[in-house]
């Protein structure tokens, strides 16, 4: 087991952020008579997706946001889903919209994501928000990268000038995170992916190692240097002989890597809660932008 002083405790920091948001929501309510409102669309009955959406709704309740959950059957057509998104886009009472991924095969996640109004895209997935990452005045930032940067900052990790190695270059995590670390935080960034030759040779150079590969326990102790800061985005359900029938595994072999790391995120309780906190922060920002525009 690792020393708790080494833990980048996403759950704790997310709770601090939620307390801050709740206080602000009280003030906004008395000033504007209205609180931020998040809508979530869930399609089908995938267990993990239900859990993720329920956690987001729970977080809305906790901070005093209004919320709307729309749960459609997995058989809903793409055009009907697009119509529902349009309806929410045009609903002046709703500030933020998320569509929980993955979607059934007959629905294009790219098309659906792009349908969301960028001003309401609190996951930060639309092309406009993605493109604006490299603006001095970004739009709504991709939630998972935004949460990770916030976690590192709250633990006062020195990012400027650090060598950050990002394992994974997906559109939702690895690519925006590496951009934010280089462009906004001035780290020196190496991006690794499935075609990278000799992954360990790169990960061993990292002052800050961020892993989003979706490959349980890909990173072992021999792949990091002493004193590295390790952020594990990965979260995979593995069949297990317990009450739930599964356990969650990160991309980092926690027990051994935590012996060498200076700071490390646990799975669960690291990046996941920070993603939800970022969703709330983005919804608050969307609300403020809307009120300012009235
Ligand atoms: P993805 O499948 O879209 O991308 C995976 C990336 O990892 C790709 O760039 C791929 O090239 C790279 N990769 C895969 N195997 C590799 C290997 N052996 N060596 C080097 N690179 C490799 O996945 P994603 O959407 O980026 O998600 C990654 C993980 O993070 C998943 O486990 C996902 O569930 C998790 N995730 C967690 C949160 C959260 O809030 N906690 C949010 C998003 C994603």
The residues with which 211 forms a beta bridge, in sequence order, are: 167, 232
Q: Which of 95, 121, 123, 232 is catalytic?
A: 123
CATH fold of 143-272 = Rossmann fold (3.40.50)
- Global pTM? 0.97
Contact between 115 and 87 (Cβ < 8 Å): no
Q: What pLDDT score was predicted for residue 64?
A: 98
Q: Tens digits of per-residue pLDDT, 195-241?
A: 999 999 999 999 999 999 999 999 999 999 999 999 999 999 999 99
**Cβ contacts of 180 within 8 Å, gap of 6 or more:** 133, 141, 145, 146, 149
Residue 188's H or E segment, with its range, is strand 188-192
285 carries an active-site annotation:
no
Q: What is the DSSP string of 114-132?
A: HHS-GGGBTT--SHHHHHG
Ligand 1 centroid – CA 211 distance (Å): 8
Ligand 1 centroid – CA 287 distance (Å): 31
Ligand 1 centroid – CA 239 distance (Å): 19
Every domain of the chain and the residues it spans: 33-117, 143-272
205 carries an active-site annotation:
no
Q: Which of 18, 56, 115, 120 is catalytic?
A: 56
Q: Tens digits of per-residue pLDDT, 19-42?
A: 999 999 999 999 999 999 999 999
For the chain, the average pLDDT equals 97
* Residue 271 Cα: closest atom of ligand 1: 41
Q: What would the CATH number be for the domain defined by 33-117?
A: 3.40.50.10860
49 lines ligand 1 (CB under 6 A): no
């Amino acid at each position: 087991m690792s020393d708790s002083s080494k833990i980048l405790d996403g759950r704790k920091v997310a709770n601090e952020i939620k307390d801050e948001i709740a206080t602000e929501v009280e003030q906004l309510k008395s000033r504007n008579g209205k609180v931020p409102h998040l809508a979530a669309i869930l399609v089908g009955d995938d267990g993990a997706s239900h859990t993720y959406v329920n956690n987001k709704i729970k977080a809305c309740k906790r901070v005093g946001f209004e919320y709307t959950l729309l749960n459609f059957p997995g058989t809903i057509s793409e055009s009907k889903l697009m119509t529902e998104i349009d309806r929410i886009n045009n609903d002046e009472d709703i500030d933020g919209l998320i569509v929980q991924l993955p979607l059934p095969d007959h629905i294009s996640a790219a098309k659906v994501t792009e349908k969301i109004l960028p001003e309401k895209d609190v996951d930060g997935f639309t092309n406009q928000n993605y493109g604006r990452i490299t603006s001095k005045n970004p739009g709504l930032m991709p939630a998972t990268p935004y949460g990770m940067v916030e976690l590192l900052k709250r633990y006062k990790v020195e990012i400027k000038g650090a060598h950050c190695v990002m394992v994974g270059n997906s559109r939702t995590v690895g690519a925006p995170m590496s951009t934010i670390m280089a462009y906004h935080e001035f780290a020196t960034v190496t991006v690794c992916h499935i075609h990278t030759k000799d992954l360990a040779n790169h990960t061993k150079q990292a002052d800050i190692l961020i892993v989003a590969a979706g490959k349980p326990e890909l990173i072992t102790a021999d792949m990091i240097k002493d004193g590295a800061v390790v952020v594990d985005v990965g979260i995979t359900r593995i069949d297990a002989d317990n009450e739930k029938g599964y356990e969650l595994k990160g991309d980092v072999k926690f027990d051994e890597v935590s012996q060498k790391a200076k700071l490390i995120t646990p799975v669960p309780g690291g990046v996941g809660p920070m993603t939800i906190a970022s969703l709330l922060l983005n919804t608050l920002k969307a609300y403020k932008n809307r009120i300012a525009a009235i």
